[in-house]
Chain A
Amino acid sequence: MTGILRHRLFWPSAALVLLIVVNSVARPKFLTTTMRDGQLYGALVDVLRGSAPLMLVALGMTIVIATRGIDLSVGAIMAVSGAVALTIIDGSGDPENVGTVLVAVLVAVLVALVLGVWNGFLVSVLGIQPIIATLVLMLAGRGVALLITGGFITTVNSAPFAYIASGYLTLLPFAFFVSVAAIVAIALVERRTALGVLTEAVGVNPEASRLAGVRRRGIVWGAYVVSGVLAGLAGVIYASNIKAADANAAGLFIELYAILAVVLGGTSLNGGKFSIAGTVIGVLIIQTLESTILFLGVPSAESPVFFAFVVVAVVVIQSPRVRGALRSLTASRRRDVAEPTTAEVAP
């Protein structure tokens, strides 16, 4: 029993389950999933679909945080990649062509990769503090995106492009499969190769890792590249969802939600040990919460407050201090039992 309680994913999972229970009581339809034309619809399906961009960004953020870094530029990278994709499709003259869309997506992700390489270069080669290094792109990126779209919100009508966010692959939304693919790929690469352990070693103790012969530069650089690519993909999904490239709104504040998801999942901002499963749960908590707020009809002005309350509660429960206090509460009870014996022994 205590073994389960101590597991690092216990509290995040409990929070998610609690949220789902509250939801299903408040709105019985929450758990109802209907099948139409061989496709599933319902609130849960919406959570899975809607969480895709945050999921991708948060996965990248997990790896970056594990190296003791942080990537504030992911939102800006989303804006850039959306702008690149839409500009290509818009300028191609044949927006309905699947080939055009594929090229657009590929180029957008490549641009995001280059931006990730830039971040990684600043951090791992020039040794600039991650928060400063990625702040550069966070501020400049949206300007770049505006430049690409010529200062306008580029919109397109392209069925293949819209499919990315809204389409279904058999039973479930295509975007859901994209997140699952990303989760599986990251988990496999980190845990089936030695990359995960080396990343954690670099995050826990960079100097000890260097002395042990770990190629720290490559590992840190790679983390920012992965984060950039995943943010690029997220940008494409976001743009596909609104069928437009909105340089100012795309991925706004997503870096903060991603950091929150990572922390909710039990990965320390100090770097080191990380948990992909934890991040996945963290993202689902945030997305379920947003869905709840929407459904409960919390006035939009008050919704951030509501959101804040729930997040504070989850974070407080998870904090080592609160957990320690809970533990010492049980420990002191044990001490009280022991005390009479002491009295007998003492002269």
Chain B
Amino acid sequence: MSSPTLAAAPHPPRDNDGVDGARPLLELTGATVRFGADAALDDVSFRMFPGEVHSLMGENGAGKSTLIKAITGALPLDAGTLVLEGRPVRFATPYDAQRAGVSTVYQEIDLLPNLSVAENVLLGREPRAFGLVDHRLMRRRAAAVLADLGLDVDPASTLGTHPVAVQQLVAIARAIATDVKVLVLDEPTSSLDLDEVAELFDVVRRLTARGVAVLFVSHFLDQVYELCDRVTVLRDGRFVGEYLTRELLRIDLVAKMLGREVSELAERQRGAVAEPEAVPLLSARGVTTARGVQGVDVDVAEGEVVGVAGLLGSGRTALARAVTGVARLEAGSVRVDGAGARLDSPRRAIGLGLVYSSENRRTEGIVAELSVLDNITLALQAQRGALRPIPLARRRELAQSWVDALGIRPPDLDRPAGTLSGGNQQKVLLARLLALAPRVLVLDEPTRGIDVGAKVEIQNLVGELADNGLSVVFISAELEEVLRVSDRVVVLRDGRVVGTVESDDVTTGSLLALVARPDEDGG
């Protein structure tokens, strides 16, 4: 165990002390959490003031989740103190934390979809009359909470019938109903569209106006800058600094998170792309699915990265799934290097050299309980067939080479893949596909929900792969990312192509105008 050093520890930078001289609502000091020999959180300090939106930034493995767990009672501290409203507290469970006023809304919403909105809002605190639940009073109370947040939702309706965005707002309403003082929002916007994000931000601002402190954890830098007053940066389980958002340049923030120099984050140099008129390697014609896309044409030349931009529901995912045999192709054709096939299964598409990485890494990507080794070699083994096993030594060699090439951390082949961080799981998934030596790689939101460092690595990797002749279809909700990675961008709206632009010719702003619905342009 390390003892506290007597030498004056370099005081971590704090850009301001207190907001208007206020006392912190919540203050964590010297927090340390160990898993075995590793410290996931090492002497970290963190504080939140009433009425602020605070962002927690850092790469995967920086300790963000651990810190959240530590302040919400999901993990015990090995050392350090937590002070809430001036009183030292120790939460044994998330329920303890909730009762003290510290609530969390998780990325995967943990509500009960088959109960009503009102039941969810007041779960565990149902008003009772003669020992029975008073449903009328419950609906009235829930309606009051929802109205307070400016939400127009029928409290009697079944929660599961609402979109994810509304369910998330209901989860926040539930936190409010418990008289929340500190609200933790963990990646709340990763599955929301632009309007829904705006609505969420409205709700957050209403909360802060009432003195609630909100911890907003997101990988979307735009949103962090739009919403947050201050930001605490962690790296490798240590406290890097606490800054006022408006005084911290974006590029500096990223550099602090990565612990790298700003110059290393330069854009990728595009290699010479084959002549646009050359025969495309992937040629999809008139792609139509039951719901999703209608008559979409996409061509990708060898070594070209074609981005697909569009709002949620524009058909970007439907297109990717139809082209790779994951979803049924109602009409249209897909050819790779002139060869076509009836794409009735992903297996058939893989046979053509056409591979797909799903936007749902957890449910459709990683096989969580199996090892990194088994995950990386899964598709290759499936392609060879069950009866022709790849010899273990060869499998290990193959998997190891991908772990090294993609920088998968920790570099342990025998670890269950589900225990890796999001960014590393994505790399394992990429390794599985690349081991097939594909011709066309279709990546659906490959950087969603992963930290900036891994994001940059994956973006750079896509560039390198394309420079080596691989054709890539790159889908992302983040327009900046699409523009950065792609040579050309196909824009979808309501299931149709509304434009194709060269990345060098457009700005994020003009691309946004194409992506957004026309009626929003004038608005």
CB within 8 Å of A: which B344-394 residues: 345-347, 350, 356, 358, 363-370, 374, 378-379, 381-390
Segment of A83-91, A187-195, A240-248 in the binding face: A187-195
Residues of A within 8 A of B358 (CB): 208, 211
Q: Is B65 an interface residue (CB 8 A)?
A: no
The answer for the CA separation of A335 and B79 in the assembled complex, in Å, is: 8
Residues of B within 8 A of A195 (CB): 386-387
Query: Closest approach, in angstroms, between the C-beta of A337 and any C-beta of chain B?
Result: 9
User: Whose C-beta in chain A lies nearest to the C-beta of B371?
Assistant: A197
The answer for the CA separation of A150 and B30 in the assembled complex, in Å, is: 80
User: Whose C-beta in chain A lies nearest to the C-beta of B348?
Assistant: A213
- Cross-chain contact A335 with B369 (CB below 8 angstroms): no
- Cross-chain contact A212 with B363 (CB below 8 angstroms): no
Residues of B within 8 A of A215 (CB): 347, 382, 386
CB within 8 Å of B: which A196-233 residues: 197-198, 200-201, 204-205, 207-215, 219
Residues of A within 8 A of B78 (CB): 335, 338
Whether A201 contacts B386 in the complex (CB less than 8 A), given A211-B358, A212-B379, comes out as no
Taking a contact as CB atoms closer than 8 A, the residue among B4, B346, B370, B381 that contacts A210 in the complex is B346
- Cross-chain contact B382 with A193 (CB below 8 angstroms): no
The answer for the CA separation of A338 and B31 in the assembled complex, in Å, is: 12
- Cross-chain contact B383 with A213 (CB below 8 angstroms): yes
Per-position binary interface string of chain B over residues 74-117, scored 1 when its CB falls under 8 Å from any chain A CB and 0 otherwise: 00101111000000000000000000000000000000000000
- Cross-chain contact B364 with A211 (CB below 8 angstroms): yes
CB within 8 Å of A: which B307-366 residues: 326, 345-347, 350, 356, 358, 363-366
Query: Closest approach, in angstroms, between the C-beta of B64 and any C-beta of chain A?
Result: 22
The answer for the CA separation of A237 and B376 in the assembled complex, in Å, is: 43
Segment of A15-23, A33-41, A299-307, A339-347 in the binding face: A339-347
Residues of B within 8 A of A192 (CB): 389
Q: Is B432 an interface residue (CB 8 A)?
A: yes
Taking a contact as CB atoms closer than 8 A, the residue among A197, A272, A346 that contacts B29 in the complex is A346
The answer for the CA separation of A210 and B78 in the assembled complex, in Å, is: 43
- Cross-chain contact B374 with A345 (CB below 8 angstroms): no
Residues of A within 8 A of B374 (CB): 197, 200-201
- Cross-chain contact B79 with A193 (CB below 8 angstroms): no
User: When A and B form their complex, what is the total count of cross-chain residue pairs whose Cβ atoms lie within 8 Å?
Assistant: 105
Per-position binary interface string of chain A over residues 316-347, scored 1 when its CB falls under 8 Å from any chain B CB and 0 otherwise: 00000000000000000001001001101111
Residues of B within 8 A of A142 (CB): none
- Cross-chain contact A273 with B369 (CB below 8 angstroms): yes
CB within 8 Å of A: which B1-16 residues: 1, 3-4
The answer for the CA separation of A198 and B380 in the assembled complex, in Å, is: 11
Interface size (A, Cβ < 8 Å)?
A: 30
- Cross-chain contact A214 with B370 (CB below 8 angstroms): no
Whether A214 contacts B382 in the complex (CB less than 8 A), given A204-B370, A272-B369, A346-B29, comes out as yes
The answer for the CA separation of A332 and B386 in the assembled complex, in Å, is: 46
- Cross-chain contact B3 with A212 (CB below 8 angstroms): no
- Cross-chain contact A213 with B347 (CB below 8 angstroms): yes
Residues of B within 8 A of A338 (CB): 1, 78-79
- Cross-chain contact A208 with B350 (CB below 8 angstroms): no
- Cross-chain contact A208 with B30 (CB below 8 angstroms): no
Query: Closest approach, in angstroms, between the C-beta of A329 and any C-beta of chain B?
Result: 13
Which of A201, A212, A272, A347 lies at the interface centre, i.e. has the most chain B CB atoms within 10 A of its CB? A212
Whether A207 contacts B363 in the complex (CB less than 8 A), given A200-B370, A212-B379, comes out as yes
Residues of B within 8 A of A211 (CB): 326, 346, 356, 358, 364-365
The answer for the CA separation of A219 and B347 in the assembled complex, in Å, is: 14
Residues of B within 8 A of A207 (CB): 363-364
- Cross-chain contact A345 with B346 (CB below 8 angstroms): no
Taking a contact as CB atoms closer than 8 A, the residue among A204, A208, A341, A346 that contacts B81 in the complex is A346
- Cross-chain contact B378 with A209 (CB below 8 angstroms): yes
Query: Closest approach, in angstroms, between the C-beta of A206 and any C-beta of chain B?
Result: 10
Residues of A within 8 A of B80 (CB): 342, 345-346
Taking a contact as CB atoms closer than 8 A, the residue among B81, B365, B370, B379 that contacts A342 in the complex is B81
Residues of A within 8 A of B384 (CB): 194
CB within 8 Å of A: which B255-310 residues: none
The answer for the CA separation of A344 and B3 in the assembled complex, in Å, is: 10
Whether A194 contacts B381 in the complex (CB less than 8 A), given A204-B367, A205-B363, comes out as yes
The answer for the CA separation of A207 and B365 in the assembled complex, in Å, is: 8
- Cross-chain contact A201 with B367 (CB below 8 angstroms): yes
CB within 8 Å of A: which B175-215 residues: none
Residues of B within 8 A of A193 (CB): 386-389
Which of A194, A209, A210, A338 lies at the interface centre, i.e. has the most chain B CB atoms within 10 A of its CB? A194
The answer for the CA separation of A210 and B364 in the assembled complex, in Å, is: 9
- Cross-chain contact A194 with B389 (CB below 8 angstroms): yes
Taking a contact as CB atoms closer than 8 A, the residue among A200, A208, A214, A346 that contacts B365 in the complex is A208
- Cross-chain contact A208 with B364 (CB below 8 angstroms): yes
User: Whose C-beta in chain A lies nearest to the C-beta of B378?
Assistant: A212
Residues of A within 8 A of B81 (CB): 342, 346
Which of B345, B366, B383 lies at the interface centre, i.e. has the most chain A CB atoms within 10 A of its CB? B345
Residues of A within 8 A of B29 (CB): 346-347
Residues of A within 8 A of B79 (CB): 338, 341-342, 345
- Cross-chain contact B366 with A205 (CB below 8 angstroms): yes
Whether A344 contacts B370 in the complex (CB less than 8 A), given A211-B346, A212-B432, A338-B78, comes out as no
The answer for the CA separation of A219 and B368 in the assembled complex, in Å, is: 19
- Cross-chain contact B378 with A201 (CB below 8 angstroms): yes
User: Whose C-beta in chain B lies nearest to the C-beta of A342?
Assistant: B79
Which of A193, A208, A209 lies at the interface centre, i.e. has the most chain B CB atoms within 10 A of its CB? A208
User: Whose C-beta in chain A lies nearest to the C-beta of B76?
Assistant: A335
Residues of A within 8 A of B369 (CB): 200, 204, 272-273
Listed A/B pairs (13) with beta-carbon separation below 8 Å = A194-B388, A197-B370, A198-B378, A201-B367, A205-B368, A207-B364, A213-B382, A272-B369, A335-B76, A338-B79, A341-B3, A345-B30, A346-B29
Given contacts A194-B387, A211-B346, A342-B30, 15 further A-B contacts (CB under 8 A): A193-B389, A194-B385, A194-B388, A194-B389, A195-B386, A197-B381, A198-B381, A201-B374, A208-B367, A212-B382, A212-B432, A213-B350, A214-B347, A215-B386, A345-B79
